[in-house]
Structure 1
Amino acid sequence: MANIKSQKKRVLTNEKSRLANKSLKSEVKTAIKKALVAKSENATNKDELVLAAIKLVDKGVSKGIFKANKAAREKSRLMSA
């Protein structure tokens, strides 16, 4: 643990943001998986699931969790599947 007060604060805030990022990443992965499974099974709500997954991916890019190329790749993969 750091000795400097500002560094102690940074350690705490970094941990807080790490957990938030981890949560959103997990949510995105789950949404993508659900959308791909729905597309392969020709479910009735597949378009809604794909749109929800794309929305989450875009949210991750705007928050700086994902890079733009990764988002484009995931969205392309979802749309072509």
Structure 2
Amino acid sequence: MANTPQSKKRARQAERRYAVNKARRSRIRTFLRKVEEAIASGDQTAAAEALKSAQPELMRGVTKGVMHKNTVARKMSRLSSRVKALKA
């Protein structure tokens, strides 16, 4: 348990950051789920639109430090190749 005033403040800050980051991760997952559902439905245009809207959210997650750059790059690559495969 935090004892000093500084450690108490850091604990409060960590709690706030946790809440913000949790909300960001949840928002990103929602966008990814929309892409997954569009791919599952087989609608290529809807999937492409969902992917286009998810892209900035994923990148924002990187800049805010919620997700790693390579993780997002991997997810984007895999999703875009799956959307592209719907065309065939």
**TM-score when normalising by structure 1:** 0.90
Distance in 2 (alpha carbons) for counterparts of 1:52 and 1:78: 13
Give 5+ residue unaligned stretches, structure 1.
none
Deviation >6 Å, runs of 4+: none
Look up the SS of the partner of 2:50 in the other structure: helix
- Correspondence for 1:79: 80
Q: How far did residue 48 of structure 1 move?
A: 2.1
Structure having the higher Rg: 2
What is the percentage of aligned positions where both structures have the same residue?
Answer: 33
User: What is residue 56 of structure 1 aligned with on the other side?
Assistant: 57
> How far apart, CA to CA, are the structure 1 residues paired with 2:77 and 2:67?
15
- Alpha-carbon offset, residue 43 of structure 1: 5.9
Matched letter for residue 46 of structure 2: N
**Structure 1 position 45 matched with structure 2 position 51:** no
Q: How many aligned residue pairs are there?
A: 81
Q: Which runs of 5+ in 2 are unaligned?
A: 83-88
RMSD: 1.3
Structure with more of its chain in helix, by fraction: 2
Matches within 5 A, 1:1-81: 1-41=1-41, 42=43, 44-81=45-82
